[in-house]
Amino acid sequence: MEQAVPGGRTPPASSRFPAREAARAGDLGELDTVLAGCRACPRLVDWREETGRVKRRAFMDWDYWARPVPGFGPPDAPLVIVGLAPAAHGGNRTGRVFTGDPSGDALFAALYGIALASRPTATDRDDGMELRGVRITMPVHCAPPGNRPTTAERDTCRPWLARELDLLRPTLQAVVVLGAFAWQALLPVLAAAGWAVPRPRPVFGHGAEVALHDRAGRGPLHLVGSYHPSHRNMATRTLTPAMLRDVLRRGADLAGLAGPTDLAGLPGLPGPDGLPARPHDGGPAT
């Protein structure tokens, strides 16, 4: 069954829809609204909607969002965090990126730990979470089977990310990139937007930094790489809460966000084992 875009219009299931509609969006609110009605990738549409019908036993009382998940954060953010895609029972359930799954538990706790988020946990769209100077987005806006979007799906979704970054450009200073997939997806977007991406292209790594200038010499735009806060990475301590806080703090410094305060150790934040202090819902990685 086709779902109407908020406002009543039902978009066609066309691969041209993102490129056409993203370019028309005059601000982030408009972009988020039209994005939520996209049906350009049949495999992703089928998966997100089937997941919303079948649900997970722990969430049977939820009315799943089951649509593309827009970015989250203020429209004048100097810092952007780029992830991968929504989790089937996380963002695809709650309708907000990194909300309701283990990756989000780690990310929002780290942002709260440096005073860039108003709460240490994110549970749903109405939980009161606010971000300070940070917007979170991703190169693929629908939950993919097995957390693995195809390159074709990534490329079809690219206009949404490109337009979002374009609308943020007046204030954008730094981007923290979570994982190699996001790094590889982001660089072509920046190159097409006029940023001078070096050749060979910079290699992803945790803590990797690149400063880009545009063709007019404006900049720099700072990129900072980080391992993705997936459940696996956190459980194996490939990425620890301290590592995640440090890389986010570095991004905040480069973005000019004045002196993020370190609140690590407060109740509700991850302890030394990297697990959240609250009971865990067992959702998949974002």
Rounded to an integer, what distance in angstroms lies between the CA atom of residue 174 and that of residue 38? 28
Q: What is the mean pLDDT of residues 191-196?
A: 94
Residue-wise pLDDT for 216-250, tens only, equals: 777 799 999 999 999 999 999 999 999 999 999 99
Domain boundaries, the chain: 69-254
* Alpha carbon 46 to chain centroid, angstroms: 21
Residue 90 near residue 58 (C-beta atoms within 8 A): no
Q: Could you tell me which residues come within 8 angstroms of residue 255 by beta carbon, excluding any fewer than 6 positions away? A: 78, 79, 133, 173, 174, 222
What does the pLDDT read at residue 214?
86
**Residue 186: both structure tokens together:** 């982001």
What does the pLDDT read at residue 219?
78
Quick one: which H or E segment has residue 190? helix 180-192
Per-residue pLDDT at 99 exceeds 70 = yes
Radius of gyration of the chain from Cα atoms?
18
| Average pLDDT for the chain | 88
> Is 261 buried (19+), middle (13-18) or exposed (0-12) by CB count in 10 A?
exposed
Rounded to an integer, what distance in angstroms lies between the CA atom of residue 53 and that of residue 1? 12
CATH fold of 69-254, please?
Answer: Uracil-DNA Glycosylase, subunit E (3.40.470)
Q: What is the mean pLDDT of residues 27-33?
A: 98
**Residue 201: both structure tokens together:** 């292209």
**What are residue 160's phi and psi, to 5 degrees?**
-65, -45
Per-residue pLDDT at 262 exceeds 60 = no
Residue-wise pLDDT for 133-149, tens only, equals: 999 999 999 999 999 99
Rounded to an integer, what distance in angstroms lies between the CA atom of residue 151 and that of residue 210? 24
